[in-house]
Structure 1
Amino acid sequence: MDSNDSSTLGLGSREIAELRQMLKGSLILPGDDLYDNARTVVQGAIDRRPAAIARVANAADVAQVIGFARQSGLELAVRSGGHSPAGHGVSDGGLVIDLRELRTLTIDPEKRTAWAESGLTAGEYTAATGVYSLATGFGDTASVGIGGITLGGGVGYLTRKYGLTIDNLLAADLVTADGQLVRADAGANPDLFWAIRGGGGNFGVVTRFQYRLHPVSTAVGGMLILPATPDVIANFVAEAEAAPEELTTVANVMAAPPMPFLPPEVHGKLVLMALILYAGDIEAGERAVARFRALASPLVDQLHAMRYAEIFQPEDTSFRPATVARTLYVDRIDRAAAGIILDYLQASNAPLRLAQLRVLGGAVARVPVEETAYAHRQARILVNLLSIYNGEVDRPVRQAWVDQFAAALPHQTGGVYVNFLDGAGRNGIHEVYPGETGQRLAQIKARRDPDNLFRLNHNIKPM
Structure 2
Amino acid sequence: MKIKSNLIDQIVPSISELRALFNGRVIAPDDPRYEQARTVFYGGIDCHPAAIVRVADAGDVSRLVSVAREAGIELAIRSGGHSNAGHSTTEGGIVLDLSAMKDLQINVQDKTAWAEAGLTAGEYVVQTAAYGLTTGFGDTGTVGLGGITLGGGVGYLVRKHGLTIDNLLAAEIVTADAQLLHVDDQNHPDLFWAIRGGGGNFGVATRFKFHLHELDKVLGGMLCLPATADTIASFLKEADSAPNELSTILNIMTAPPMPFLPADMHGKVVIMAMMVYAGDIEMGEQVISKFRSIATPYADMIRPMTYPEMFPPEEGGDYHPVAAGRTMFIDHVTRSEAEMILNRLQSSSASMAVTQLRVLGGAMSRVRADATAFAHRNSRIMVNLAALYENPNEKRIHEAWVTEFASALRQSDNGAYVNFLADVDEAQVRAAYPNGTWERLAAIKARYDPDNFFHLNQNIPPK
Q: Which amino acid aligns with 2:305?
A: M
The secondary structure found in structure 2 opposite 1:90 is coil
Structure 1 length-normalised TM: 0.97
Is 1:170 matched with 2:169? Answer: yes
Residue in structure 1 matched with residue 305 of structure 2 by the alignment:
306
Residue in structure 2 matched with residue 368 of structure 1 by the alignment:
368
Residue in structure 1 matched with residue 238 of structure 2 by the alignment:
239
Contact 1:416 1:427 in 2 (8 A): no
Contact 2:353 2:387 in 1 (8 A): yes
- Provide the C-alpha distance between the structure 2 equivalents of 1:114 and 1:354, rounded to a whole number of angstroms: 35
- Provide the C-alpha distance between the structure 2 equivalents of 1:378 and 1:9, rounded to a whole number of angstroms: 46
**What is the CA deviation profile of residues 283-328 of structure 1, one whole-angstrom value per residue up to 9, with x for unaligned ones?**
0111111111010000011111111111111110332111110011
Q: Where in structure 2 are the equivalents of 1:288-307 lying within 5 Å?
A: 288-307=287-306
The secondary structure found in structure 2 opposite 1:226 is strand
- Provide the C-alpha distance between the structure 2 equivalents of 1:392 and 1:427, rounded to a whole number of angstroms: 26
- Provide the C-alpha distance between the structure 1 equivalents of 2:161 and 2:23, rounded to a whole number of angstroms: 38
Is 1:423 matched with 2:423? Answer: yes
- Provide the C-alpha distance between the structure 1 equivalents of 2:157 and 2:348, rounded to a whole number of angstroms: 33
The 1:190/1:263 distance shift into structure 2, 3 A limit, reads same
Contact 1:176 1:448 in 2 (8 A): yes
> How far apart are residue 18 of structure 1 and its match?
2.5
The 1:446/1:346 distance shift into structure 2, 3 A limit, reads same
> How far apart are residue 197 of structure 1 and its match?
0.1
Q: Which amino acid aligns with 1:188?
A: N
Residue in structure 1 matched with residue 454 of structure 2 by the alignment:
454
The secondary structure found in structure 2 opposite 1:394 is helix
> How far apart are residue 367 of structure 1 and its match?
0.3
Unpaired runs of 5+ residues, structure 2, are none
The secondary structure found in structure 2 opposite 1:123 is helix
- Provide the C-alpha distance between the structure 2 equivalents of 1:59 and 1:11, rounded to a whole number of angstroms: 27
Residue in structure 2 matched with residue 140 of structure 1 by the alignment:
139
Q: Which amino acid aligns with 1:148?
A: G
Residue in structure 1 matched with residue 29 of structure 2 by the alignment:
30
Q: Which amino acid aligns with 1:29?
A: A
Structure 2 length-normalised TM: 0.97
Contact 1:77 1:95 in 2 (8 A): yes
The secondary structure found in structure 2 opposite 1:370 is coil
Q: Which stretch of the first structure deviates more once superposed, 23-32 or 204-213?
A: 23-32
Q: Which amino acid aligns with 2:17?
A: E
- Provide the C-alpha distance between the structure 2 equivalents of 1:372 and 1:341, rounded to a whole number of angstroms: 32
- Provide the C-alpha distance between the structure 2 equivalents of 1:14 and 1:173, rounded to a whole number of angstroms: 27
Contact 1:11 1:51 in 2 (8 A): no
**What is the CA deviation profile of residues 224-252 of structure 1, one whole-angstrom value per residue up to 9, with x for unaligned ones?**
10010000000100110111111111110
Q: Where in structure 2 are the equivalents of 1:165-204 lying within 5 Å?
A: 165-204=164-203
Unpaired runs of 5+ residues, structure 1, are none
- Provide the C-alpha distance between the structure 1 equivalents of 2:358 and 2:85, rounded to a whole number of angstroms: 21
The secondary structure found in structure 2 opposite 1:393 is helix
The secondary structure found in structure 1 opposite 2:232 is helix
Q: Which amino acid aligns with 2:339?
A: G
**What is the CA deviation profile of residues 337-371 of structure 1, one whole-angstrom value per residue up to 9, with x for unaligned ones?**
10110010011121111000000000111000111
Residue in structure 1 matched with residue 383 of structure 2 by the alignment:
383
Q: Which amino acid aligns with 2:442?
A: A
Is 1:399 matched with 2:403? Answer: no
**What is the CA deviation profile of residues 242-292 of structure 1, one whole-angstrom value per residue up to 9, with x for unaligned ones?**
111111111100011100111101111110100011011110111111111
The 1:95/1:88 distance shift into structure 2, 3 A limit, reads same
> How far apart are residue 9 of structure 1 and its match?
5.6
Contact 2:15 2:28 in 1 (8 A): no
Contact 1:201 1:454 in 2 (8 A): yes
Contact 2:13 2:71 in 1 (8 A): no
- Provide the C-alpha distance between the structure 2 equivalents of 1:402 and 1:12, rounded to a whole number of angstroms: 41
Q: Which amino acid aligns with 1:357?
A: L
Contact 2:12 2:73 in 1 (8 A): no
Q: Which stretch of the first structure deviates more once superposed, 445-454 or 65-74?
A: 65-74
RMSD across aligned C-alpha pairs, in angstroms? 1.4
Q: Where in structure 2 are the equivalents of 1:319-330 lying within 5 Å?
A: 319-330=319-330
Residue in structure 2 matched with residue 89 of structure 1 by the alignment:
88
Contact 2:12 2:71 in 1 (8 A): no
The 1:375/1:155 distance shift into structure 2, 3 A limit, reads same
- Runs of 4+ in structure 1 deviating by more than 6 angstroms, as ranges, are none
**What is the CA deviation profile of residues 192-220 of structure 1, one whole-angstrom value per residue up to 9, with x for unaligned ones?**
00000000000000001000000111111
> Percent identical across equivalent pairs?
53
Contact 2:365 2:377 in 1 (8 A): yes
**What is the CA deviation profile of residues 3-50 of structure 1, one whole-angstrom value per residue up to 9, with x for unaligned ones?**
x98324657796323322221460110121111111111110101000
- Provide the C-alpha distance between the structure 2 equivalents of 1:118 and 1:200, rounded to a whole number of angstroms: 13
Q: Which stretch of the first structure deviates more once superposed, 9-18 or 42-51?
A: 9-18
Q: Which amino acid aligns with 1:197?
A: R
- Provide the C-alpha distance between the structure 2 equivalents of 1:266 and 1:18, rounded to a whole number of angstroms: 57
Contact 1:9 1:52 in 2 (8 A): no
Q: Which stretch of the first structure deviates more once superposed, 431-440 or 420-429?
A: 420-429
Q: Which amino acid aligns with 1:51?
A: A
**What is the CA deviation profile of residues 57-105 of structure 1, one whole-angstrom value per residue up to 9, with x for unaligned ones?**
1111111111111112111100000111111111111111000000000
- Provide the C-alpha distance between the structure 2 equivalents of 1:392 and 1:116, rounded to a whole number of angstroms: 38
Residue in structure 1 matched with residue 350 of structure 2 by the alignment:
350
- Provide the C-alpha distance between the structure 1 equivalents of 2:444 and 2:314, rounded to a whole number of angstroms: 38
The 1:10/1:109 distance shift into structure 2, 3 A limit, reads farther
> How far apart are residue 176 of structure 1 and its match?
0.2
Residue in structure 2 matched with residue 316 of structure 1 by the alignment:
315
> How far apart are residue 389 of structure 1 and its match?
2.6
Contact 1:24 1:61 in 2 (8 A): no
Contact 2:5 2:50 in 1 (8 A): no
Contact 1:30 1:51 in 2 (8 A): yes
Contact 1:158 1:279 in 2 (8 A): yes
Contact 1:24 1:57 in 2 (8 A): no
Q: Which amino acid aligns with 1:367?
A: V
- Provide the C-alpha distance between the structure 2 equivalents of 1:226 and 1:232, rounded to a whole number of angstroms: 8
Q: Which stretch of the first structure deviates more once superposed, 147-156 or 65-74?
A: 65-74
The secondary structure found in structure 2 opposite 1:435 is coil
Q: Which amino acid aligns with 1:462?
A: P
Q: Which stretch of the first structure deviates more once superposed, 244-253 or 15-24?
A: 15-24
Residue in structure 2 matched with residue 116 of structure 1 by the alignment:
115
Is 1:219 matched with 2:218? Answer: yes
- Provide the C-alpha distance between the structure 1 equivalents of 2:232 and 2:13, rounded to a whole number of angstroms: 61
